[in-house]
């Protein structure tokens, strides 16, 4: 009995040690995961859609009369994004230690953009944080809505073009060699389109890796060039002048410029600070240059409309409306109307492009794939001549 009791005691101790070891491993894994999330949260890029939801919910809670720290605690508990949850936790802790909301969010520039920070600063200065956050939430929501429409319009042509490229590669690498082997038995000269496709197929089968490296090299070179100031300038100029999509890109840039400017001015942000934020949010060198000129001109006592009138990037309608807003003291209202106008124009342009692109892509696919098929069947249609003049 003593031996059995001793063995049982040793088994129980061993089981406890095993469970304790598993607990320690799980604890260590949880700590490692938390450290990784905390490190990632410092540079976490929060999607604009998520920021819009956060801003809207925070404004609603503040309007209901809850203290800011309690609002952030509620938002921290309900968010499913673990990185953003840590960001909210750190912001809440910073506010609890005595810092302002704007100071706390400045520590996470990738999560809270400069527009959000400036609006929070304006809200703290005016005492109307909830109202201003409601305005910026509406701005974020309209921006996200427009972006989604543009992306949905671009998804179809990109998918079709990608499918066409994949299909052509399959035909060149796997199908055409079968026809080439069959035509080789004829011993006669093939039609020029057929011979070209066979040569192209042989080249791709032999040098596919060189094509891949070359394509990656071109992509890397273009990316490096675009990263330079001159390359970025050339890219933005090309995008605005590009066929089909250039007009849409131009209208989106104008809408973003007007709505950002109106939102900031209406919230009480100083005009020079407004121009800095508008320049950073535009992501277009044309607007950045214009904002620098406007800031210089305004600091010397000039008007915004004077710079817009001398800049070809801005259409005449926009220049006249801004000038009218300056005359009536309602520049932000005019800017909002211009932004609404261009939002409607963008939606109409997206709808028109969607209806136009579909038949163009169908014709494109028919020409590419049909051309390949016709070129490969051309020798069969001329079988007598290709086989040696049996006619």
Confidence band (pLDDT; 50, 70, 90) for 386?
very low
CB 156 within 8 A of CB 354: yes
The yes-or-no verdict on residue 2 having pLDDT over 60 is no
* pLDDT at site 390: 43
* pLDDT at site 341: 92
Mean pLDDT, residues 131-142: 88
The yes-or-no verdict on residue 377 having pLDDT over 70 is yes
* Domain(s) of CATH 1.20.81.30: residues in the chain: 48-112, 141-391
Higher per-residue pLDDT: 294 or 8:
294
Mean pLDDT, residues 352-357: 81
The yes-or-no verdict on residue 13 having pLDDT over 60 is no
Confidence band (pLDDT; 50, 70, 90) for 170?
confident
The yes-or-no verdict on residue 300 having pLDDT over 60 is yes
Distance (Å, rounded) from C-alpha 250 to C-alpha 242? 10
The yes-or-no verdict on residue 330 having pLDDT over 60 is yes
Query: For the chain, how long is the longest CA-to-CA vector?
Result: 107
Residue at token pair 């100071």: 103
pLDDT tens-place string over residues 18-55: 666 566 666 766 676 667 777 777 888 888 889 999 99
Percent of the chain with pLDDT over 70: 88
Fold (CATH) for 141-391: Receptor-associated Protein (1.20.81)
Confidence band (pLDDT; 50, 70, 90) for 11?
low
CATH architecture type of domain 48-112: Up-down Bundle (1.20)
* pLDDT at site 24: 66
Distance separating the N- and C-terminal Cα atoms of the chain? 107
Percent of the chain with pLDDT over 90: 20
* pLDDT at site 8: 57
Helix axes 271-282, 285-299, angle to 10 degrees: 170
The yes-or-no verdict on residue 261 having pLDDT over 70 is yes
Structure tokens at 22: 């598993």
Q: Among 53-57, 202-206, 257-261, where is mean pLDDT lowest?
A: 202-206
The yes-or-no verdict on residue 3 having pLDDT over 70 is no
pLDDT tens-place string over residues 219-249: 999 999 998 989 999 999 998 888 878 888 8
Of 138, 116, 56, 143, give the one whose Cα is nearest residue 269.
116
Confidence band (pLDDT; 50, 70, 90) for 118?
confident
CB 186 within 8 A of CB 387: yes
Q: Torsions phi, psi of 242, nearest 5?
A: -65, 145
Q: Which residues, in sequence order, are CB contacts of 319 under 8 Å at separation 6+?
A: 305, 308, 309
What average pLDDT does the chain have? 84
Residue at token pair 């003049």: 389
The backbone region for 47, taken as left when phi is positive above 0, alpha when psi lies in -120 to 50, beta otherwise, is beta
* pLDDT at site 391: 44
């Amino acid at each position: 009995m003593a031996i059995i009791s001793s063995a049982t005691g040793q088994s129980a101790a061993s089981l406890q040690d095993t469970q304790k070891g598993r607990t320690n491993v799980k604890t260590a894994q949880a700590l490692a995961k938390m450290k990784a999330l905390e490190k990632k949260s410092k540079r976490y890029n929060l999607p604009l859609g998520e920021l819009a939801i956060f801003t809207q919910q925070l404004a609603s809670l503040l309007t209901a009369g809850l203290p800011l720290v309690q609002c952030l605690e509620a938002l921290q508990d309900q968010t499913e994004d673990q990185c953003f949850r840590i960001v909210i936790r750190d912001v809440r802790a910073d506010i609890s230690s005595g810092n302002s909301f704007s100071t706390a969010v400045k520590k996470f520039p990738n999560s809270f953009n400069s527009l959000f920070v400036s609006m929070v600063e304006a809200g703290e200065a005016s005492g109307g944080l909830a109202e201003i956050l409601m305005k910026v939430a509406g701005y974020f929501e309209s921006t996200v809505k427009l972006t989604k429409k543009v992306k949905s319009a671009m998804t179809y042509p990109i998918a079709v073009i990608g499918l066409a490229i994949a299909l052509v590669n399959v035909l060149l690498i796997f199908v055409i060699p079968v026809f080439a082997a069959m035509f080789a038995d004829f011993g006669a000269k093939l039609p020029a389109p057929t011979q070209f496709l066979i040569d192209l197929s042989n080249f791709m089968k032999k040098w596919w890796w060189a094509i891949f490296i070359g394509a990656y090299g071109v992509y890397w070179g273009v990316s490096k060039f675009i990263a330079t100031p001159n390359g970025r300038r050339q890219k933005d100029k090309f995008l605005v002048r590009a066929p089909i999509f250039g007009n849409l890109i131009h209208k989106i840039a104008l809408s973003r410029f007007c709505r950002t400017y109106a939102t900031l001015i209406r919230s009480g942000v100083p005009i020079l600070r407004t121009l800095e934020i508008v320049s950073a949010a535009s992501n277009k060198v044309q607007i950045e240059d214009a904002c620098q000129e406007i800031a210089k001109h305004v600091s010397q006592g000039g008007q915004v409309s004077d710079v817009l009138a001398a800049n070809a990037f801005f259409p005449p309608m926009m220049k006249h409306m801004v000038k009218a807003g300056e005359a009536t003291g309602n520049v932000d209202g005019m800017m909002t109307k211009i932004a609404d106008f261009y939002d409607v124009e963008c939606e109409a342009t997206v709808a028109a492009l969607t209806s136009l692109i579909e038949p163009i892509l169908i014709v494109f696919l028919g020409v590419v794939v049909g051309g390949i098929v016709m070129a490969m069947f051309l020798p069969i249609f001329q079988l007598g001549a290709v086989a040696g003049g049996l006619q």
